[in-house]
Amino acid sequence: MGSSRTVVWFRRDLRIEDNPALAAAARDGPVFPVYIWCPEEEGQFYPGRVSRWWLKQSLTHLGNSIKSLGAELILIKTHSAVDALRDCVNAVGATRLVFNHLYDPVSLVRDHSIKEKLGELGISVQSYNGDLLYEPWDIYDDEGHAFTKFNSYWEKCLHLQMEPVSHLPPWKLIAGSIEKCSVDELGLEDELEKASNSLLGRAWSPGWGNADKSLTEFVERHLINYSENRLKVGVDSTSLLSPYLHFGELSVRKVFQCVRMKQLVWEKEENKKGKDSVNWFLRSIGLREYSRYLCFNFPFTHERSLLGHLKYFPWNANQAHFKSWRQGRTGYPLVDAGMRELWATGWMHNRIRVIVSSFSVKVLLLPWRWGMKYFWDTLLDADLECDILGWQYISGSLPDGHELERLDSPEIQGSKFDPEGEYVRHWLPELARMPTEWIHHPWDAPDIVLKSAGVELGLNYPMPIVDLDMARELLTSAIFKMWEDEAAARASCSNGTNEVIGDNTGITDGIPKVVLREKGKAPCLTASSNDQKVPSFYNMKQKDPHGKKRAKCMEEGTPGPDKFRDCYNVAGTSRPDGDLCSTAESSAAKKQATTSRCSFSVPQYCSSSEGNSMAQECESPEFKEPWQSQIDIENSSSKDVAMGT
């Protein structure tokens, strides 16, 4: 063991086992563990109530684990993460800071800034892969470009060698004199939320030690039936590991390797059900990987569709419809049951997530960003990258997503995934006595059936918010309008009446090409191999051999008043005036390098930026739309009701 002191910055890696940053620090000398809570830097993606509850419990669990080793997890609440980290380094006389990578747009820009600022002070900063099987910059097609379809990406991943689980060597913890706070003083949970949150503890056990137990139980008892049970919405038919994975209490490498071991056993036994279950589950792991891959290579996807023509889609910014959807008052039982379960528990089966999100964007034509932000605020396992992938997929914003014209009937979905109506009856007590025949379409039931069931449509349960046939017509009209507007924009641009048509990526057709490795060029080297790359778009001043150029300019718009139109600079995207060189080498370059060593609000669309820093979202009250303030009031006044108290 060396003698250098290292600050370990815990973030969404709240575990001791298979923590690459912690293991690297422990190998070189004493370790100073710290967690920093900086609400201001979260911007519009400040965690929701149930997510903050989980974080609080997880930090308590990790703190107890570190305390049992004779030291303390330092908790700091601050206005600036970089200032807090600098204070930690000075307090213990550390020479190095380490942490594990994050891939969302906010974290990418913040981490790059921290490395630059601390590097200027002579502090060595290194980051590691503690969240993925493979780094995003190591997966690319034959042309060196980022994949834009999941199947191609995942097939490539499955043929690559994976790094083994890292084991923590004997390590020594150090203490330092620095201003700190207790987990309660972080302010993750206020007094009004405690009554509601207390019910969460009956169903969930946060913490990395409990994560291991949950993984073992799933692999040994439930994985075998995963292929058969994964679509059953009324029971715990999935792994329930997503919150543990989001907060990094569980290593995805460990999950993958445990499941692969089962796969080898079942292949030897020629157990078809077991092999099918493994393939389906590993695919879900792959989708999680792909969500980070997309966010890293296309960091604008939290604000804009990946497919460029979706910028012309005439979304319907209807406040009343959005409120009915959130409250589970659409008149479509399966949708309403899902939304009420979400509000009450912070959880929904993945199939229900697909159904309610599809209803929002295809039936109600609500902007997908609204739903994505609401999921972020209310899900226990809220994960920005996964939410982006899910909502872009459903809204037809991805090349391999749902067809834009596809509109699924909630009635048919209900008969397929909740055939007996048990799920609907559980979450919609007003329909508890409805016969199974009519449970998913009560508006068609005879009056005598409704009367005997105690259902008064329009009174104790709403009539359908919109007729499905009408919704299909409106969706078709919206698609035609989108193509017409795009054609008009292209014609205007070609006639010279508008010099700039496009988005901030500078590509006019299809999807921007992201260069992960250029043919014939070695990856650019940096001072540290333990660093994180930044995606590079093609130089917009040079001829693009793979497609037309797109000038910078028109942002993704929405119909209606200007207040519903985007007016932001894309946070975290590359500048169009030139390629960005990576801040780290690829794994191939590492071998060659000689200088390196091993309260709810809808997303804001007005932002500003300074230089290359992340654009700060407009969160002050004067920037909120009237309906946003109404939602804030609803949430603050009904927190206890949300948990049934």
**Binding-site positions for FAD:** 226, 238-242, 281, 381-383
User: Do 250 and 244 meet the contact criterion of CB atoms below 8 Å apart?
Assistant: yes
Rounded Cα distance, 557 and 568, in Å: 11
Rounded Cα distance, 431 and 440, in Å: 10
Q: Which residues contact 604 (CB under 8 A, 6 or more apart)?
A: 44, 568, 617, 618, 619, 623
User: Do 144 and 133 meet the contact criterion of CB atoms below 8 Å apart?
Assistant: no
Residue 289 phi, psi dihedral angles, 5° rounding: -60, -45
Q: In this structure, what token pair is assigned to residue 376?
A: 């972020």
Strands 74-77 and 31-37: parallel
Residue 319 phi, psi dihedral angles, 5° rounding: -65, -40
Rounded Cα distance, 593 and 103, in Å: 25
Rounded Cα distance, 12 and 23, in Å: 16
Rounded Cα distance, 561 and 524, in Å: 46
Rounded Cα distance, 124 and 120, in Å: 9
Q: Helix count (H) and strand count (E) of the chain?
A: 25, 9
Rounded Cα distance, 72 and 175, in Å: 7
Amino acid identity, residue 112? H
Q: DSSP assignment, residue 37?
A: E
Q: What is the dihedral of CA 379, 383, 388, 390, to 10 degrees?
A: -60
User: Do 352 and 413 meet the contact criterion of CB atoms below 8 Å apart?
Assistant: no
Burial class, 488, CB count within 10 angstroms (exposed 0-12 / middle 13-18 / buried 19+): exposed
Q: Using alpha carbons only, what angle is made at residue 154 by residues 150 and 157, rounded to the nearest 5 degrees?
A: 145
Amino acid identity, residue 56? K
- Residue pointed to by tokens 């199974």: 436
Rounded Cα distance, 308 and 550, in Å: 11
Q: Which residues contact 553 (CB under 8 A, 6 or more apart)?
A: 500, 501, 502, 503
HSE-up (13 A, CA, CB side) for residue 522: 9
Strands 124-128 and 96-100: parallel
Q: DSSP assignment, residue 507?
A: B
- What residues are designated binding site? 226, 238-242, 281, 381-383
